[in-house]
Amino acid sequence: MQIIKDKSQLKGLVATLKHRKSTIGLVPTMGALHEGHLSLVRQAASVCELVVVSIFINPTQFDKPLDLQNYPQTLDKDIALLQELDLNIVVFSPTATELYGNKIEAEHFEFDGVELEMEGKYRFGHFDGVGTVVKKLFEIIQPDKAFFGEKDFQQLQIIRKLIEKTGMPVEIIGCPIYRESSGLARSSRNERLSDDMRQEAPFIYQSLLQAKEKFGTESAKQISDWIEQEFKTHPFFKLEYFEIADSDSLKTIENKQLGTPYRAFIAVYAGEVRLIDNIALNY
Ligand code: AMP
């Protein structure tokens, strides 16, 4: 496994591979790798000759400086985990200056309003940062395919919009949410939960499953009211949002339409720790 920090070195490697017509897959991450990330890497390796795993804590996608400061940096451990997979992987872990130059700033994007929903409302400028870094990675690596988790479903749709707007020739592949046996979506933030919170955290996924069951017979409003009530009385969790939305536009729905795919999205605070999850409701 090769570890590259320098973008010109990576560009050189990419040029050689392109010449040989090898398929390149990209899995962008911010490190602190866990089984969720590794499931993306495995999926990429099953269809690509080389997988580039980028490990870069992107400063422009954090709206709170403290969040950025506290983000776990575990590069050596991440590299060891990837090495154990024994796959054809290149790790790209540039510094911020290497990737951005001297101006560490986000480009502004309009993604047909997808950027203004949910995470866009609560994390100001977040998707400009995500769009900026992913565009830079695509330009350097020129992957044939890029793999993103449905865990961050809105981010996945944002990247699809990025491709639509820029015309970059990258196939975007959404990968299923990797869950712990309790149903809790795997996240590096789970490590920060107290024992009590961790025991209770599957409640979030259980609520989504019940929302899905109710979706057959109840309106979006009835389900949202029910979820709000469930969380109001919960001793540990504070609901930030629960929304039932069109899976493509991510617009909140009032009435269901036959033939349209919908998803439920949730963001919850467990003490200081913010957890997100989502579920497909029909298709
Ligand atoms: P992050 O390092 O948190 O930015 O995540 C990097 C990629 O891994 C993103 O595409 C995430 O959606 C994906 N990811 C993180 N956790 C999971 C999970 N539990 N299941 C599937 N994909 C995940």
pLDDT(97) > 90: yes
Ligand 1 center to 106 CA (angstroms): 21
* Token code pair at residue 242: 């629960």
Residue-wise pLDDT tens digits, 23-66 = 999 999 999 999 999 999 999 999 999 999 999 999 999 999 98
In this structure, which amino acid lies at residue 195? D
pLDDT(255) > 90: no
Average pLDDT over every residue of 93-119: 97
Q: How far is CA 221 from CA 42, 242, 243, 254, in A?
A: 39, 11, 9, 7
Alpha-carbon gap, residue 153 to 117, rounded angstroms: 12
Q: Write b or e for each residue in 241-252: b if 16 or more Cβ atoms lie within 10 A of its Cβ, otherwise e.
A: bbbbbbbeebee
Q: What is the DSSP letter of 106?
A: P
Contact (Cβ atoms closer than 8 angstroms) between residue 161 and residue 89: no
Q: Name residues contacting ligand 1 (CB within 6 A).
A: 29-30, 36-37, 39-40, 148-149, 151-152, 175, 177-178, 185-187
The pick from 29, 30, 37, 208 for probing ligand 1's pocket by mutation, whose C-beta has the most ligand atoms within 8 angstroms, reads: 37
* Token code pair at residue 121: 């409302």
Q: How confident is the model at residue 283 (pLDDT cuts 50, 70, 90)?
A: confident
Burial of 3 (0-12, 13-18, 19+ CB in 10 A): middle
Q: Which of 37, 108, 126, 234 is the catalytic position? A: 37
Residue-wise pLDDT tens digits, 181-230 = 999 999 999 999 999 999 999 999 999 999 999 999 999 999 999 999 99
Contact (Cβ atoms closer than 8 angstroms) between residue 155 and residue 126: no
Average pLDDT over every residue of 248-255: 92
Alpha-carbon gap, residue 265 to 120, rounded angstroms: 13
pLDDT of amino acid 258: 87
Ligand 1 center to 234 CA (angstroms): 27
pLDDT(129) > 90: yes
pLDDT(67) > 90: no
Percent of the chain with pLDDT over 90: 94
Q: Is 37 a catalytic residue?
A: yes
pLDDT of amino acid 256: 87
Across all residues in the chain, what is the average pLDDT?
96
Alpha-carbon gap, residue 279 to 281, rounded angstroms: 6
Q: How confident is the model at residue 250 (pLDDT cuts 50, 70, 90)?
A: very high
In 3D space, the residue among 29, 36, 73, 71 whose CA is nearest the CA of residue 51 turns out to be: 29
pLDDT of amino acid 282: 94
Nearest CA to ligand 1 atom 18: 36
